[in-house]
Structure 1
Amino acid sequence: MNRRRLLQYLLLLTILFSQGFFTGLLASDTYTWTGAGGDGQWTTSANWENDGPNGVPDLPPYDADVIINGNHVVILSIPTNYTVESVHLKNGAMLTIAFGATLTTRKGNVGNEGFTIESNAVLVLEGALNIYDLDANLDIGLFIDDLGSASIGVNGVLYIPDYGGTHDRTCAMRVDGSLTNNGTVLITNPSDRGILMGSGGSVTNNSSGAITVSGGFEGIYFRSSSSITNEGTITLSGASSKIIEGGSGWSLTNNGTLAGTGTIKSKYLSFGDGSSLSPGNSAGTLIFDNGSNAVNLNGVTLIMEVNGPTAVSGYDQIQITGSGDLKLAGSTLQLTGSYTPVQGDQFFLAISTGTGSVTGTFGGGPFQINNVSLTDLSNGGLEFGQFLPVEFTSFTARQAGKAVQLHWSTATEINNDYFAVEHSTDGRHFTVIGKVSGFGTTQEAQYYNFVHDTPGNGLNYYRLNQYDFDGAHEYSKIQTILFEGEDLWTIRPTLARQFVSVEWLEVPQSAATVEVFNVAGQKVYSQEAAAWASRLEIPVEDWMPGMYWVLVRDAGQGSARRFVKE
């Protein structure tokens, strides 16, 4: 008898400590939507039934697997920040996450997916949906099957991050059905693919939509008959393999902006007229794995960043690797960046590393970076190889009574016809106020001056536009000078520590703009003063000591006063 009892105890202990038993104990409860509460609200406990040991209506806890099955319409309203284990919509269910509401899935158990939409189910995302993988065991973050669909509104945000560790998910998001995006989709560091486009799946990224995938093995992978139409912005970067890859018979139609760094399988990629291509990420390379297929950039604006003289690290570059050509004819080049070219600089913005050729030239010229003109070398290159027509050695603006005296000098001049002197009161819109003849070609220093008799009250901007005999021109740097105006307002104290007050002697009948500039001409403060306001207080406690100018613009007129910060 004792021996039999001992065997029973041993058997019981074996069952208790078996992995399957404890897995069952620790498994998440499943909560199923019944809609018995009648109001369609996620946060009404009577709408749910716990399929676990309790079997009573109750709200799903943070570790619950949620199932909404059947033709139910469910709303997660504001203000709500709700967390569950996973969500499964199927058989015609519709879930709306309202603007201002947030739903978060922690790790997912049902089907190894964080959020599943299948069998004519619909997700309407106007708020935020976060899909996490805390246990690093998900296969798919968001799965939309061939009969499922999702729509993201302009304020909607879908966020699928990867917190690191050893993940086995096949993709952060898989679309076999349809997804329409008007908001934001952000996928970071997936262990494998960012987006997997299943056979027949479609994504429409409308003009307000932004899709970003960074990191992972592949950014977007296309299976046959899948498609993405982009009217907004798609940004892809950081993939260890390709940012766009696929099999056969898929399509990516870019009518918006396609940006990023990495390699694109381009056979089924097409660009619409008026679309944009933005290679790099603060300078980088976009590589077209084009095989025997041409890459045609007709009608495409190329947004290229130039921050230095070296390809990839300093400026953006487009490359092709196959035997097909890269066709630049009909494209428009838009240069941005902080670099000022020096003599001899060459920028090869488009090159071939395969047997194909770069044909045609960039449209949108003449090209400049920071007011430095560049020569189109054709076939994807620009050059700054000529001597400067005029080498400035100085340019200054000084007050002379009620006028402004401009002085400038040159070290050398080549084919210098004349200088157009330009003036502005807002720093954006300049008008020509005079011309000064140049000395043609000379290797000797030359000195020039010009007097502006009618400067405006407040801040005045001056620049020189130097013209060659062939019509080519180049701008100088801008000089500024402040003029104090009539006594319509005053500033106190003029020696300040914490605050400075702008006080009107007559209450203005319209709104005024108050701006503050340091001695270097940099704007450090801007504020609109309401109509009929007699006083505006400016906090200066954290400002650097020194002299400042306060400029008040009212009804198209400007005047300035100065004060000193202790």
Structure 2
Amino acid sequence: MKKVIFILISVFIMSGICNAQIGGYSLNFDGTDDYISVPHNSNLNFTAFTIEAWIFPTGTDSKIMGKTAYGSAVPGFSIGYTSDNKLFCECKQDWGSNYVAATSTATASLNVWSHVAMTWSSGGYLKAYINGVEVISAASLALTITNSNYFVIGKAPWISPSQGLFKGRMDEVRVWNVVRTQAEIKSGMYKELAGNETGLRMYFKMSNGSGSTVSDNQTNVTANTGTINGATWKASGCFTGPKNCLDFDGSNDYVQISNGVVLGNTFTQEMWIYPTDATDVFRGILGYHSTDVTRPPCIYQHGKNIHFGFANGTAWNSDITNSDVLTINAWNHIAVSFDGTTYLVYANGLLVYTSLCASGLTPFGNAQSWIGKVDNYFLGKIDEVRIWNIVRTESQIRESMTCNLIGNESGLQAYYRMDYSDGTTIYDVTSNARNGTLTNMDPATDWVTSSSFNTWVGNESNAWSTAANWSKGSVPASTDNVGIYKWTLGSELSLSGTPAVNHLIISSTSSPTLNSNFTVNGDLLLNKDIDLNGYTITLGSNGYIDEGSYRFYGTSGVITTTRTLNNITEQNIGGLGATITTSADMGSTTITRGHTTQGSNCSISRYYDITPTNNTGLNATIVFNYNDNELNGNTESDLKLFKSTNSGTNWTVQNSSLVNISNNTITQTGIDGFSRWTAANYNSPMPVELVSFSAAVKGRNIDLKWKTSKEINNKGFEIERKITGGNWLCAGFVIGAGNANGLKEYTFEDKNLNSGTYSFRLRQIDFNGNYSYHSLNGTVEIGLPIKYNLSQNYPNPFNPTTKIDFALPVESSVSLKIYDLSGKEVKSLINNEMMKAGYYTAEINSGGLSTGVYFCRLIAGNFSSVKKMVLLK
């Protein structure tokens, strides 16, 4: 019974991480008649402006927003895109010479989120940007753009007629009365604004989420309320990534941060890295080095391990992981935290190392920082660098590692998304503006597409296979690191299509439904209890499940993995909870964990099937882990392991197994071979412990024998029989011993069976009506007769019916008739019918016959036989 007091604390801490979803809500426009109209006021007259929005277009040739009148000389402006998705911007004082317009060569892609912006100043320039990249720059005449028309979003900027209707989703609409620089646009495009920024005149961050109006979230001037005409609310996901990252050449590339974070004696540093060098070089990821004793907290990649530490003004205090925690040429999430005493190191959400290398010390206060360099330069890609002045828990690290942050989280001191595609600046998304400068790097080649993770948004449907439901705009591949979340107005995931992924995190905010099998090749991390729902989760050769304080459960469904095991010590294979020690070579071994109770619902809700290639002489130890929620009414301190060698039909208690209720484990040593294992209360164990179950054929009869070593509350055994291709039928019942210790033997003869192949099972029933099945290993065959035969009828004398058996060794023409004492035929049961070889039974009804003696005659081929029968009425 593990202590779980900390769970409530961590849940409250986690609640603000990804629940406040990135991007909030959006409005969906149908491209037919949807738009937003905003009444004019003097704050929407301009001599200079910036307009920007996040758009998810699903159609072409439409306007995004603007303010002008239809077919008149009234001044105005608009931004939209052409039939080939090129951005088009215009500003006019009239339709004559006082007009400027331009079209980009770059495009705004369909079915993905893009940030678009347009700036203009009278006598200056008209410029436009896609995702922060300048795509239009045109000189402008001195124009005066003032009018009393509506500001329109989602179509051409006039109320009537409706033209250029936008199809898709839109979020974060911002209107300024100043020209925002490219740097200002970039610095704010991946976060919500405060609302009081200089020059902000209208700000629709789509915070409503419902209703027919859009609230203005700026606080500088009188609010502008937008009226929704047909558009519908949806989850946004406009800020979700990843989009891009930085690629470092390992030679001289790095990012210089001059006003970096000065960390105290509590901190967390985390990021995604894609290392491409496996050699034992200390390649700097984050930190700074001028002298050994003035280094702030630093992180290095050293081959497949993580080197970390800080100086305190006197000495460099560091340590290194030792178990190859990184994968080369793949995305890895790493995090290190320090609480003033202990360093904790995480790789892909798993705690992999603990160190006291800097216990009691405080880092040297150095504001200089580098990304991609400390002593040596990093070779590979880096994304999502986050620096905190608090200790992040394991659950918090997991919860947010596969989604973007907002930027205002408590304790977050610097956050570098790296989602830009040009320029030499990386922007800190927090309000601290600790921006960095690319040094010795080429923006044209070092900004590259990132695939560090892929986040479920669910803004289209609940289908895994719909690309628009994912933050990357693509369905996860087997190498993707996937985060499953629940977004307000977004759909819960229905996992289907037998997908395969690398790492998978199931967030505390989500409740996905498993509707197919799936495969995880990396780490499978739970921040929520999940029902297996009858499906199979396969862990690949490097797959590992860590349920933390949560669990997979379900009355059906399993988690399975196959590994090659040889001379292992305390190895929790795949994290499934069956920890094995053996010096033997088990070879390829499949381990399957299920949660169906065993033995008439008496066991706990967990079992393991362990199937090695080499399964004898193992002298193995198993530590069987369980969850308190799986006890199923069993007294925890009385738990013992039970072993079945026939998939749960028969069970043998492992009397020497020892339970540890503090650790939720049961340990068994000296195991010669593995099979199925579960746990149950030894004082109220599996109702019947079956020692053996056998069958022997005697002509048409089958003798069944079975032995038990222990019986609890056993009413008896119902014998069930099934011929191949048929259904289970009850053949009889044998009374049980009730409660018994020691060997009990039972027999049952199943008589007069026809030729065929039969299966048998015992339906053991207790006095409470509970039951379990014990199946006979293999089948039993009743062969063909070796000679003709007519048996005596039974019962005899009879009234009103009797049966008579006969046997045919070969296919024959058969006649079976009844005669009275005078030799007169009184009944014809079979009249010269061709019948195949086999055993047969005919039933004789006495209807129409009076008391007396009768004869039954069988003629089959050249064989003839007669039996005397007596009818008593």
Q: What TM bracket, shorter-length normalisation?
A: 0.3 to 0.5
Tell me the TM-score normalized by structure 1: 0.36
Tell me the TM-score normalized by structure 2: 0.26
Larger radius of gyration: 2
